[in-house]
Amino acid sequence: MIGLVVVSHSPALAHAAVDLALQMVPGEKPAIAIAAGAGEGLIGTDAAAVSAAIDEVASPDGVLVIMDLGSAVMSAEMALDFRSSQAEVRLSSAPFVEGLLAAIVTAAGGASLADVDREARGALAPKIQMLGGPEPAPADPAARLAPLTPEELRADLVIVNVDGLHARPAATLVSTLAGFDARLTVVNQRTPRAPVAANSLIGLLSLGAKSGDVLTVAASGRQAAEALARVTAMVNDGFGEPKADRT
């Protein structure tokens, strides 16, 4: 599992952002080190502290560094010259809060350094879509609902959560699928676009799935049946959250 370093001018901001993200991870959590502030009660960043944080969470799988702004980026760049560990380190351009949430959830699922960085950097996409930004191109219906291959399974599942498929149930789904040897994709039938990976938090949030929406989930791989059954049970149960009144 990769390590994560959080670099911020404000210790309070850094700890609050990490606490928020960790609430979305029910199981094993990645190693996280915070390098925030420039000393007792001082706002700022310290390259030496960032370097120590990188060494603290260094992993053979790599380290992703997420920064807030300005000198945090410069301190992170300088820290690369001071560290003693040899793990691969990436400095991410991800948005601080959304990117950190996406990174922690994705890392907890055992994703690679490159995949975690990509998820973090794309973390603003769902918000942009919700606020009327550019929409992804619709998928070709023929490709979206291509004939089943011999090893693929498919199910149409109705979102019953009052608030739809928001961050918490989406993160729960990502964490759950990490335990299966299977590949799952999801399409929202209300707004049909290209399928998204079911183990991508940002992909799931980009579906904009509301209560009552029908999601088509396709599964393939050695544990496809088990994974699809687990997803079906979670969706039908509303991920343990209140369900919309269907009476």
Residues forming the active site: 166
Which of these, 75, 62, 127, 67, lies nearest to 93 by C-alpha position? 67
Return the ∠ at Cα 52 (arms to 31 and 33), rounded to 5°: 25
Among 115, 116, 156, 136, CA closest to 208:
136
Alpha helices by DSSP H, listed for 134-223, are 141-144, 167-177, 201-206
Rounded Cα distance between 53 and 32, Å, is 9
Residue 48's H or E segment, with its range, is: helix 47-57
Q: What is the amino acid identity at position 72?
A: A
- Residue appearing with tokens 């001082």: 42
